[in-house]
């Protein structure tokens, strides 16, 4: 009888070891699989900021996804230092803005008017319709905003003398 009980115990132990090994093997294989096709990641410390010829000196932008010049989804970020102004302009596409940090100020109209500015703190989201004249002023410190849209994108200043591409 003892030998039958002993054999049963040994079989149970062997089964437990086999199940544990199988679970560990499946778990290791799942971790070893590569990311799915099309998966993209950009850790915040790897964002490549650069000056943009379309906005005044001091501002920077980074393209995170897509190509704003093409007819497809794009995601960019714009970093504006404290007391930075972008004069009235339009974009040909509808844009979704997400404020990443700071407070982002936007006003609407063909003339820069500080009384028309609206403050959007970090975490805010708003949509600017295509071809809508608007302007920015980071009057309370640096702000970073993420812009999502479907290109082709562009920028057209209401008053062409405000276009930094004409003066650089």
d(CA 59, CA 101): 15
d(CA 15, CA 107): 70
User: Mind listing the pLDDT tens digit for each residue in 122-135?
Assistant: 999 999 999 999 99
pLDDT average, residue stretch 52-64: 97
Q: Which two tokens stand for residue 10?
A: 């040994």
User: Mind listing the pLDDT tens digit for each residue in 61-102?
Assistant: 999 999 999 999 999 999 999 999 999 999 999 999 999 999
Q: How far is CA 164 from CA 53, 55, 74, 134, 168, in A?
A: 7, 6, 23, 16, 6
- Residue 81 is given by DSSP the state -
Q: Which two tokens stand for residue 85?
A: 């102004």
């Amino acid at each position: 009888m003892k030998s039958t009980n002993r054999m049963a115990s040994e079989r149970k132990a062997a089964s437990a070891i086999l199940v544990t090994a199988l679970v560990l093997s499946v778990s290791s294989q799942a971790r070893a699989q590569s990311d799915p096709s099309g998966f993209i990641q950009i850790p915040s410390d790897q964002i490549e900021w650069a000056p943009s010829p379309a906005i005044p000196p001091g501002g920077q932008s980074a393209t995170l996804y897509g190509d704003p010049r093409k007819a497809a989804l794009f995601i960019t970020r714009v970093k504006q230092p404290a007391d930075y102004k972008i004069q009235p302009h339009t974009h040909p596409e509808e844009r979704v803005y997400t404020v990443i940090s700071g407070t982002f100020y936007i006003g609407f109209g063909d003339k820069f008017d500080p009384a028309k500015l609206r403050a959007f703190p970090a975490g805010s989201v708003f949509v600017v319709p295509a071809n809508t004249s608007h302007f920015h002023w980071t009057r309370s410190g640096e702000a970073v905003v993420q812009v999502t849209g479907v290109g082709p994108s562009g920028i057209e200043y209401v008053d062409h003398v405000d276009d930094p591409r004409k003066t650089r």
